[in-house]
Amino acid sequence: MKLRKYFEANQKLWDEFAKINYEAESYRTKEFLQGATTLKSIELEELRDVKDKTLLHLQCHFGLDTLSWAREGAKVTGVDFSGEAIRLAKQLVETTGIEAKFIQANIYDLPDVLDEQFDIVFTSYGVHCWLNDLNRWAEIVAHFLKPGGTFYIAEFHPFLWVFDWDAQDFEIVRSYFHSPEPLMEKVDGSYADSSVRMEPTEDYEWAHGIGDVVTSLCSAGLRIQFLHEFPMMCFPNFPFLKKREDGYWYYDNPDVQMPLTYSIKAVKDNR
Ligand SMILES: C[S@@+](CC[C@H](N)C(=O)[O-])C[C@H]1O[C@@H](n2cnc3c(N)ncnc32)[C@H](O)[C@@H]1O
């Protein structure tokens, strides 16, 4: 019951965020419509050849990255539980003529509504904190992969969970470790555009350490090929990060560097 309440609140939040984010400069919808990719160099270089592969994008938001993979040649399906995000994704399909399928579903309900397996399951940046159960999530990833298929994630590093989001430097305020009860926060605007205010609402987020992520994937039968950690992130989650020419945001102290992003590639072996 409580879980349903958390998911309903988060879904409402993401319906509001989708409307704001679609218009927000940082999401680059306009550039995408002019032909730009919204994928970052990390996933483009590490996942590489997606041509003619079927790709399932979990938590696809309003589909910019999903459709960018389609521009790279993948046959894409995007899933998100926000009805507003999926409506906007379908609108982008109409506008651009890019071939794609979008499904509105909670990740945990997806096996009930989608009966297909994929060459690639992809997910990225800001996904795990919305999920209460990573073991079940990893089982779902494995369920939708064909034997021999590839799973890939690029995500904000869970170590960042411990820091105050609004402080002027890294200040530890939270425990790193997973707790079954979510952290509740009151939100009245999107991270993507602080100038737009929305009706205050609650969100519920869960911490998951890097060990939880890796162990959930191994337990679901996936073989991890790499776990990479990076000292930069694609979004300024902290106000004091500095943008460099490569488009990524860095902590400016060369003597104190920490992992801001990680990526994992894993395969479902033929058995
Ligand atoms: C930060 S976005 C991540 C996508 C992408 N990297 C981006 O920034 O646009 C998180 C997405 O997860 C979706 N989401 C959160 N919880 C979900 C759930 N349980 N099932 C499906 N989608 C979910 C939200 O609607 C949102 O679109």
DSSP for 221-260, please give it: TPEEEEEEEESEESS-SSTT-EE-TTS-EE-S-TTS----
Q: What is the pLDDT of residue 180?
A: 87
Q: How far is the CA of 130 from the centre of ligand 1 (A)?
A: 7
Between the two ends of the chain, the Cα-to-Cα distance in Å is: 38
The alpha carbons of the chain give a radius of gyration, in whole angstroms, of 18
Query: Any idea what the CATH number is for the domain that residue 45 is in?
Result: 3.40.50.150
Give the torsion sign (CA, 11, 13, 16, 21). Answer: negative
How confident is the model over 65-97, as pLDDT tens digits? Answer: 999 999 999 999 999 999 999 999 999 999 999
Q: What is the pLDDT of residue 44?
A: 98
- DSSP state letters, 89-129: HHHHHHHH---EEEEE--GGGHHHH----EEEEEEESS-GG
- The pLDDT of 4-14, averaged and rounded, is 96
- The pLDDT of 26-37, averaged and rounded, is 97
* Nearest to 145, CA basis, from 222, 89, 91, 242: 222
Q: Is 259 in the pocket of ligand 1 (CB under 6 A)?
A: no
Choice between 60 and 190, residue whose per-residue pLDDT is larger: 60
How many CA within 13 A on the CB side of residue 219? Answer: 13
How confident is the model over 42-71, as pLDDT tens digits? Answer: 999 999 889 999 999 999 999 999 999 999
pLDDT band at 3 (very low <50, low <70, confident <90, very high): very high
CA distances in angstroms from 111 to 2, 70, 87, 199, 251, listed in the order given? 22, 23, 21, 33, 40
Residue 271 has pLDDT above 80, yes or no: no
Q: Is 124 in the pocket of ligand 1 (CB under 6 A)?
A: yes
The C-alpha atoms of residue 63 and residue 78 are separated, in whole angstroms, by: 7
Number of domains in the chain: 1
User: Which residue has the CA at smallest separation from atom 15 of ligand 1?
Assistant: 130
- The pLDDT of 202-230, averaged and rounded, is 97
Residue 191 DSSP class:
T
Counting atoms of ligand 1 from 1, which one is nearest the CA of 125? 6
* Nearest to 191, CA basis, from 23, 17, 38: 17
Give the torsion sign (CA, 150, 26, 71, 86). Answer: positive
User: Which residue has the CA at smallest separation from atom 1 of ligand 1?
Assistant: 126
Q: Supply the range of the domain harboring residue 49.
A: 2-267
Q: How far is the CA of 10 from the centre of ligand 1 (A)?
A: 9
| Phi-psi category of residue 245: left, alpha or beta, with phi > 0 → left and psi -120 to 50 → alpha | alpha
Q: Is 37 in the pocket of ligand 1 (CB under 6 A)?
A: no
pLDDT band at 256 (very low <50, low <70, confident <90, very high): very high
pLDDT band at 249 (very low <50, low <70, confident <90, very high): very high
